[in-house]
């Protein structure tokens, strides 16, 4: 209850982005202190258990719950986040050139809705800076995914070159890669989800991944992160294109532009909404992808997960792994232990020996 009673009241009195930087920078500095990682694992770590450990994409995930992209944008606190119970984490979104992002303020809390709205705009230090940081992180405890995007000034017809550059510079340092074409905060980015632009982008990405695999002697997975704000026809086309591209999986979903049912005054702010209001729509997208692909394309479910039941619903809908972000802000690092313990109980309740048995159970 340390976070709920002490940390959260302090952070929630601060500007949201200042609190964000305080957490990331604090975790980065703490990890440098002798014994700090061990202390964090003692307070918040999650012990690996056979029923929840997942082997997917040729990678071992000690738990199925990861940290979504957007919190550690520059890979500053990989050791810190690796010590508080996550089974994997995404860093980024990173772009080839560093950029400041959108004007302040650009991050807003909606406490009544247990949600966040952000219009950050891929603020980051650039791919070279991230490569340098990740190169210094030795003996990682959990897999690290690099979430890649395009610079704001890059026109869509040249966007594939930005993704190519990020892969080339960061390939040695990521365990897997995530192609972000679904943030609502970079102009026209979501257009890359449709038509020939999507095919060109994924073709370029897969060719560069192949070149890097040949150079480094190891192949690495790449996933595509999609938006929830698509109709059935658009989703079907996207999934068909992604499936035929040869990528390893899909992350469903990014933030939403919908404001349905929100109570807080900050609902008027522009940007992507994350948190509890996204839960049902993101789970529906997971289910549709699983059904369309016959469960053959692995899915990471993301959006609105606060409880073990939320995570389990995404798993039974078709997700092999799940991610959280907003729940960490509202619930603190204790959330990972609650999710882990709750998932174990739900598996036992339903008679499953391993989490993989529950994946897609809604469709059987």
Is 183 catalytic? The answer is: yes
Rounded to the nearest 5°, which phi and psi values hold at 90? -105, 140
For residue 357, what is the DSSP state?
G
Query: Got the DSSP string for 27-94?
Result: HHHHTTSTTHHHHHHHHH-----TTT-EEETTEEESSSEEEPTTSSTTSS-HHHHTTTT-SEEEEEEE
Six-digit token string for 38: 């061990």
In angstroms, rounded to a whole number, what is the distance separating the alpha carbons of residues 180 and 230?
A: 15
In angstroms, rounded to a whole number, what is the distance separating the alpha carbons of residues 260 and 278?
A: 10
Instruction: Work out the angle at residue 234's Cα, subtended by the Cα atoms of residues 231 and 235, and round it to the nearest 5 degrees.
Output: 85
**Torsion of Cα atoms, 33 then 39 then 44 then 49, to 10°:** 110
How many Cα atoms within 13 Å fall on the side-chain side of residue 4? 5
In angstroms, rounded to a whole number, what is the distance separating the alpha carbons of residues 337 and 86?
A: 9
Beta pairing, strands 107-110 & 115-118: antiparallel
Give just the sign of the alpha carbon dihedral 16, 19, 21, 24. Answer: negative
Point out the catalytic residue in the list 182, 183, 302, 320.
Answer: 183
The SS3 assignment for 105 reads coil
Would you please indicate which residues are annotated as catalytic (active-site) residues?
A: 183
């Amino acid at each position: 209850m340390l976070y709920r009673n002490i940390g959260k009241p302090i952070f929630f009195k601060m500007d949201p982005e200042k609190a964000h930087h305080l957490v990331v920078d604090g975790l980065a500095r703490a990890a440098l202190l002798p014994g700090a990682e061990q202390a964090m694992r003692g307070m918040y770590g999650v012990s690996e258990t056979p029923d929840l450990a997942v082997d997917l994409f040729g990678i071992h995930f000690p738990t199925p719950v990861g940290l979504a992209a957007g919190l550690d944008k520059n890979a500053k606190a990989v050791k810190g986040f690796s010590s508080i119970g996550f089974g994997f984490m995404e860093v980024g979104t990173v772009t080839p050139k560093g950029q400041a992002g959108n004007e302040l303020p650009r991050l807003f809390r909606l406490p009544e809705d247990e949600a966040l709205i952000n219009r950050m705009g891929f603020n980051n230090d650039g791919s070279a800076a991230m490569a340098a940081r990740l190169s210094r992180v030795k003996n990682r405890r959990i897999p690290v995914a690099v979430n890649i995007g395009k610079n704001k000034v890059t026109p869509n017809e040249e966007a594939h070159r930005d993704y190519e550059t990020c892969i080339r510079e960061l390939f040695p340092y990521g365990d897997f890669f995530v192609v972000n074409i679904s943030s609502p905060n970079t102009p026209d980015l979501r257009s890359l989800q449709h038509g020939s632009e999507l095919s060109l982008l994924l073709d370029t990405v897969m060719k560069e991944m192949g070149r890097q695999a040949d150079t480094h002697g190891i192949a690495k997975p790449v996933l595509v992160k999609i938006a929830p704000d698509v109709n059935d026809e658009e989703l079907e086309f996207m999934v068909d294109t992604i499936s035929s591209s040869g990528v390893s999986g899909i992350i469903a979903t990014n933030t939403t532009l919908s404001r349905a049912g929100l109570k807080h005054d900050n609902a008027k702010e522009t940007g992507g909404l994350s948190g509890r209001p996204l839960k049902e729509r993101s789970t529906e997208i997971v289910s549709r992808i699983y059904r369309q692909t016959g469960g053959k394309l692995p899915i990471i479910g993301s959006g609105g997960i606060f409880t073990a039941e939320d995570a389990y619903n995404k798993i039974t809908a078709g997700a092999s792994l799940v991610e959280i972000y907003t729940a960490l802000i509202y619930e603190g690092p204790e959330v990972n232990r609650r999710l882990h313990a709750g998932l174990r109980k739900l598996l036992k309740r339903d008679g499953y020996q391993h989490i993989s048995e529950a994946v897609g159970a809604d469709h059987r």
